[in-house]
Structure 1
Amino acid sequence: MASPPGNGRDGIRPPVRRRSLLLGAAALGGLGALGAAGCTRVAPAAGTRGGELLDRLRAQGVVRLGIAGEVPFGYIDRQGRLTGEAPELARVIFKRLGVDQVQPVPTEFGSLIPGLNSQQFDVVAAGMYVNAERCAQVIFADPDYQMLDSFVVRKGNPKGLRSYKDVVAKKARFATGTGYAQIQHAVDAGYKESDILIVPDQVAGLNAVEAGRVDVFAGTAVTVRQVVRKSAKTEAIEPFAPVVKGQRQIDGGAFAFRPGETRLRDAFNTELHKLKKSGELLRILRPFGFTKDEMTDLTAKELCGR
């Protein structure tokens, strides 16, 4: 969705599980020792008003981050280091909150919310889009970025595909990633869901376009920008806002917390807004392909209410 990449900004090819509309449980994935360590369950929150997780994290000195292995949102790089826009932002904010270390817990994107609510990790740090369905299950910080959609198409965009309506009208062969929000965007435009080619990640989507198996692959603007960088056969179209229920929709990605942990969410929001005001947020996110266009004043409250 929300961006990120193909051969990623560093030529990395992690599996992508986009800001899924799927909230079903899937098995938590491991990534070596990091994954094994990350799967340790945290103690459940007590009944204290606003939750006790913030106090526990300060005492432990470490916060477990649920990530989905997607460039540039949250992934493990070639050196085995946790990075991405959300983990790097988490490092800054949690340090300000008195928590010095972050630890990754890799999983499928569709397992992030179930994993969070079953105590597998403390917070979702995967650039997850905020929507009403998810807001019924978790609480979100305010978005740290906003995002438009884009397409990977053949050089010259021979079919002239610049929107989901174009894809439908021109009967283009359409692909997107597992659990991507772009599935629903295409369906809302009238594309038959059973005709969508679902691929594991943006690299597979790029390959499908290059090989001529599909005419277009849809993802977030930053994902598409990244994935076509080394491709001589494809290009990214201009980012656009999908039309959902008759209205242009700009999505926003944010950190997610268990419903009872309002103290932690509110403390996180306080520091996030300081970073936005100072301009430091853009500095943190810029290395991952984010620009001023992705900075936002959207709030979780307004996105949850859509």
Structure 2
Amino acid sequence: MLKISLGTFRSLFMGGVTIVAMGATTLNAQAKTTLERIISSGKITIGIHNRAPWGFRGVDGQATGFHPDLIRAAFAPLGVKEVEFVIADLGALIPGLLADRADAVASGFSITPARCEQVAFGEPELAIGDAVIVQAGNPHGIHSYADIVKNPKLSIGGSRGSANLANAKAAGIPASQIQQFQNTESSVSAIMAGRVQAVAFSSGSVVSLLQDPRVTGLERAMPFQGYIKPDGKPAANYSGIAFRKGDAELKAAYDKRLAELRADGGLVAIAKRYGFTADEIASDSVKAAELCADKM
């Protein structure tokens, strides 16, 4: 895993892509809107948390993953050829965006009402259920959030502020059995060390994590039943690109291109590239505004 000191890391220029620390110079130019600046410069800067399959630094130094590739596909027709990226912990991405250190967060954010209070989300692209990592052999027989509720000796972890832990709480797991960690790495380290008995992520993240040769002694709990909503439907996490609320023009341009990619098959092609299926493409009837209002 790439380790970056956000306080001291300045700028690396690799393969034509610039990696900029979250503490670098702000991006907004007063004379132009964000979209105008992006188009005129041919460059967009995205925030990522360096985690496959969502957004990470590839071996070639490029921003890689489902959301970076989606950003490329969306803005390439507008003449945007260069993607800069900033790396930060998941919880630091929105503060970095609001401080004008990135133009968008493109790293697997779930659209939640709490996040919607701070940022404007593009329309959702994926609808993904929760998945849970347990110790090899699943010694505690964890196949649902209800199994953790039933056993007060069990605890579950995950990234601070994640939709997955919100679902775990909604399913009835008390706060005393939930541990929030700063990022994915610390969550995985906790279960490998036995400090928690399960960690919750999206299904895509779990598949990617378990392919890492450094992650040993763990497996995906199969089958697993996540949170069932009051209407009887399983909860899904809808992913979206996050923009500043003041960048309505930029968000509108992205949403227009997303609709085109949905129609021409480009969206599903990008999704399959990173292990998602066509069934996990969000319906175009599901809107970010409804998710922000918690109406889904």
- The alignment's TM-score, normalised by the length of structure 2, stands at 0.82
Task: Please give the root-mean-square deviation of Cα atoms over the aligned residues, in Å.
Answer: 2.8
Distance in 2 (alpha carbons) for counterparts of 1:175 and 1:79 = 32
1:38·1:64 contact (CA, 8 Å) conserved in 2?
no
Taking the aligned partners of 1:52 and 1:32, their CA distance within structure 2 comes to 24
Match in the other structure for 2:87: 106
Q: In the alignment, what sits opposite 1:196? A: 178
- For the 8 Å contact 2:21–2:87, the answer to whether it is kept is no
In percent, how many aligned pairs have the same letter?
Answer: 30
The equivalent residue for 1:24 is none
Query: What is the CA distance between 1:296 and its match in structure 2?
Result: 0.9
C-alpha separation between the residues in 2 aligned to 1:173 and 1:122?
Answer: 37
Q: Distance in 1 between matches of 2:208 and 2:243?
A: 29
Paired residues of 2:129 and 2:236 also in contact (CA < 8 A) = yes
**How far is the alpha carbon of 1:250 from its aligned partner?**
1.1
Shift of 1:183: 2.6
The worse-fitting range, judged by mean Cα deviation, of 85-94 and 237-246 is 237-246
The answer for the alignment partner of 1:181 in structure 2 is 163
- Residue 236 of structure 1 pairs with residue 217 of structure 2: no
What code does the residue aligned with 1:64 have? T
DSSP-derived class of the 2:240 partner: strand
* 2:288 aligned partner: 300
Residues 1:43 and 1:31: Cα distance change in structure 2 (over 3 Å): closer
CA shift, 1:196, in A, is 2.8
Moved more, 133-142 or 198-207: 198-207
Q: Is the 8 A contact 2:20 2:84 kept in 1?
A: no
Matched, 1:215 2:197: yes
Match of 2:126 in 1: 145
Q: 1:69 to 1:79 in 2, by over 3 A?
A: same
Which ranges in structure 2 are unaligned for 5 or more consecutive residues? Answer: 13-18
Secondary structure of the structure 1 residue equivalent to 2:106: strand
Distance 1:211-1:246 versus aligned 2 partners, 3 A rule = farther
2:238 to 252, 267, 287: 252
Quick check: 2:128–2:237 contact (8 Å CA) kept in 1?
A: yes
Question: Residue 96 of structure 1 corresponds to which residue in structure 2?
Answer: 77
SS at match of 1:39: coil
* Residues 146-165 of structure 1: pairs in structure 2 closer than 5 A: 146-165=127-146
The one-character-per-residue Cα deviations of 1:118-137 (angstroms, maximum 9, x if unpaired) are 21111111121112222222
The count of residues paired between Structure 1 and Structure 2 equals 279
The yes-or-no answer on 1:83 pairing with 2:64 is yes
Which runs of 5 or more residues in structure 1 are unaligned? 1-12, 16-26
Deviation at 1:88, TM superposition (A): 1.0
CA distance in 1, matches of 2:7, 2:278: 34
Q: CA separation in 1, counterparts of 2:120 and 2:30?
A: 15
Tell me how far apart the structure 1 counterparts of residues 235 and 8 of structure 2 sit (CA, whole Å): 32
Partner of 2:250: 264
Q: Secondary structure at the match of 1:126?
A: coil
Task: Give how far 1:87 is off.
Answer: 0.8
Amino acid at match of 1:242: Y
Shift of 1:241: 4.1
Which amino acid is the alignment partner of residue 97 of structure 1? L
Distance 1:119 1:148 in 2: 32
Q: Is the 8 A contact 1:29 1:108 kept in 2?
A: no
AA paired with 1:257? Answer: F
**Do the aligned partners of residues 136 and 29 (structure 1) sit closer, same or farther apart at CA in structure 2, a change above 3 Å counting?**
farther
State the secondary structure of the residue aligned to 1:150: strand
Q: Aligned letter for 1:190?
A: G
Match status 1:130 vs 2:111: yes
TM-score after normalising by structure 1: 0.80
Call closer, same or farther: CA 1:94–1:38 in 2, change over 3 Å: farther
SS at match of 1:190: coil
